[in-house]
Amino acid sequence: MRQFNITFLIAIFVIFNSVAQDITEKFKYESKFKKIGNDAIHYIDVGSGDPILFLHGIPMSSYSWRNIIPHLSDSTRCIAIDFMGFGKSDKPKIAYTFTNQLDYLTAFIEELNLANITLVMTDIGGIIGTSYAMNNPGKIKGLVFMESSLSDAQTFHKNGGFMQHMMFWMSRKPKMGYNKIVKKNLFLKMMPKLIKRKLTKYEKEYYRKPFTTVESRIPIYALAHSFPKKGKNAQQGDMAYFLNKNAVELQKSNIPKLLIYAKPGMLVNKKVLKWAKEKLINLETQYVGKAKHLMEEDLPHEIGSTIRNWYAKRIKK
């Protein structure tokens, strides 16, 4: 009972101590670029020590970590990338599959000679990052998940809510999905429904800027489009294939894991949380407050404080 009370009080302190902090719209970090073949990945790199590598979701970029990184960069090296086709990274004429993105991520890590990595991942970043971690466990010290898929594809579908099902149903439809996501820029227009607070004009414009043309939105569509109906009949390289492979390896992995969740969220609900607690080894979970799917824009200080405390306790030696 005493341990429970102490843990509860720490959690309350973390949440309420950071609520009063401002959320800045400015991206104060120097842009860097790393050539991968003929294409350049945009990234930021601050602090020193073992690296924490931040992997964003759709339709986000390294910009979404701007209020979280300050909680960690005084004691660790913080690196945040833009996946190829997102943010300030190049937009080459490729298929933008999960395999493509994993290949770029793998090459980026090799180019920077990163080791002892802790991955902080959300949304598609969780799928791509988990795949890298399971392929290269010797390079990984810790895994932090938020609003990301953890289970196999059919369980992911079964445990999902209405919004999740609707988005993937629409994305699968070749004509409807392409029209809504690519031509009409639906994902950017939906952002206000996926964030609890109201974004500033500057923030909205920053997120819109990489996706101002029809062609520039293909990376968003390609990833979402690859999830098959109900997660069944996975094909080599599609989203279901990655989820199935990740789930098998993740359940065997003893790498320290942290699952940060909020309510109502979207991808991480009660069913998902229950699955994770029952299936994953060496897992801690932490509730950080009220937020929707893009929780890094609602609760950055709560997230940053939670990662900092967990990292100091479980990862940093």
Is 298 a catalytic site residue? no
List the CATH code of the domain at 25-315: 3.40.50.1820
- How far, in Å, CA of 231 to CA of 13, rounded? 40
Mean pLDDT, residues 149-178: 92
What is d(CA 233, CA 247) in angstroms, rounded to the nearest whole number?
16
Indicate which residue of 45, 50, 147, 298 is catalytic.
Answer: 147
pLDDT higher than 80, residue 12: no
127-156 per-position pLDDT tens digit: 999 999 999 999 999 999 999 999 999 999
Supply φ then ψ for residue 115, to 5 degrees.
-145, 170
Q: Is 123 part of the annotated catalytic residue set?
A: yes
User: What does the domain layout of the chain look like in residue ranges?
Assistant: 25-315
For residues 314 and 147, give the distance between their C-alpha atoms in angstroms, rounded to a whole number: 21
Q: Is 205 a known active-site residue?
A: no
Considering the candidates 293, 298, 301, 302, report the single residue annotated as catalytic.
293
CA distances from 184 to 136, 176, 212, 214, 221 (A): 38, 10, 10, 8, 11
Do the beta carbons of residue 109 and residue 45 sit within 8 Å? no
pLDDT in tens, 187-226: 999 998 999 999 999 999 999 999 999 999 999 999 999 9
**Average pLDDT of the residues of the chain:** 93
Condensed to tens digits (0 to 9), the pLDDT of residues 61-110 reads: 999 999 999 999 999 999 999 999 999 999 999 999 999 999 999 999 99
Cα–Cα distance for residue pair 207/191, rounded to 1 Å: 9
Percentage with pLDDT > 70 across the chain:
93
What is the DSSP annotation of 88-153?
TS---SS---HHHHHHHHHHHHHHTT--SEEEEEETHHHHHHHHHHHH-GGGEEEEEEES---S-H
